[in-house]
Structure 1
Amino acid sequence: MPTEPLPGLSRLGQLLESFTSAGLAIRQRTAGRPRPLPPATDPAAYRIIQEGLTNAHKHGRDHEVRLLPAYGPGALDITVRNAMRAGPAPAGGTGLGLGLTGMRERARATGGFLSAVARPAHPGMDRLTKREREVLGLVAGGLSNDDIARRLYVSPHTAKTHVNRIMTKLGARDRAQLVVVAYQTGFTRFCRHLWRPGV
């Protein structure tokens, strides 16, 4: 019995309509010229957007989200942005954490990565430099110090120093707590999904 092909971005309009019908206000625009994506990337991009919108609907503060797929020469960047409700993480480890984990795994499977970035909400968030905010997003996205060093073209020692300074400013006792702070106080969620044409 033939199976239905996995949905891709050609069905993005239908996906957005389903969330709109459920009460989510979506402000969507596309940057760059849309083009066919590699077979593995197309359904992954669809699922990442689906999961991002699901998280925004479940955990967002005002049921409004901004979506920006941006096509570059050799990459597709997907930005999902929404205001987060303050409060503890969902009980039992379900909800937002698992959603971010799923998006991260889908991005990594096709050579990309996911980053979560928080706007000032925590008492120490406004003390972070622009570079420290960038590093915080990469930490929240699951990157190690070595990964961050390669991503930002700095030494592992410099990456570790940034992470330690962020922990001090945010009062985080360890890296795991730093990730929790980033998620719980987060405003912006950004995931970047890289691909190579023809792969």
Structure 2
Amino acid sequence: DIIFAGYQEAGLSGISDESNTGLAAQGWKYKVAINGSDATEFDITTTSTDTYAALITLMNAQNTGATWTLVDGDLRLTSDAVTGVSSIAVTAGSSADLLVGLSITMETAVTGDTTPPSEIPMNYHKALPFLVAYLLLLEQMDDKLAGLRRAEYVKTMRLFRLSRLTRDTETDRNDGLRNRLGYTVTMP
């Protein structure tokens, strides 16, 4: 499988949106470095009844450039960037550490692949955002050439229409002349 966006998981299993986090009602801190940037500390405040869905909503409201989700029963932070610049590093907060509160040790981060695929991978349905972004990049690079191709197409179509119009007009004139002179036009 091709990894299109870097991510890091918490190492949990069997967690669902409705699962209770077990966190106390207080402020929690954690740090995240996205795509090689310096780590930014985030501060969230939970209630003692928060589910993982509520926790994910709180965390996603604070950070930009990455998205928290539940994947196969595990908490995952995924970079919004694709390919080689795509990386995540979640670390402990300065106090009231969220990772300690959740009793987790973040797993080794997985970085995005640095090269586009040369064939359709098994996880192609996950690849669509990457492939669309890649094709848009190619289109932007090819924009000047594409503009020339469009101009050439317009010119060719204009010449084709003019030649057809000229041919039809001459045929109509010749048929009209034949009819006035009494000749019959028969098609073989």
Relative to the length of structure 2, the TM-score reads: 0.23
Relative to the length of structure 1, the TM-score reads: 0.22
- Say which one has the larger Rg: 2
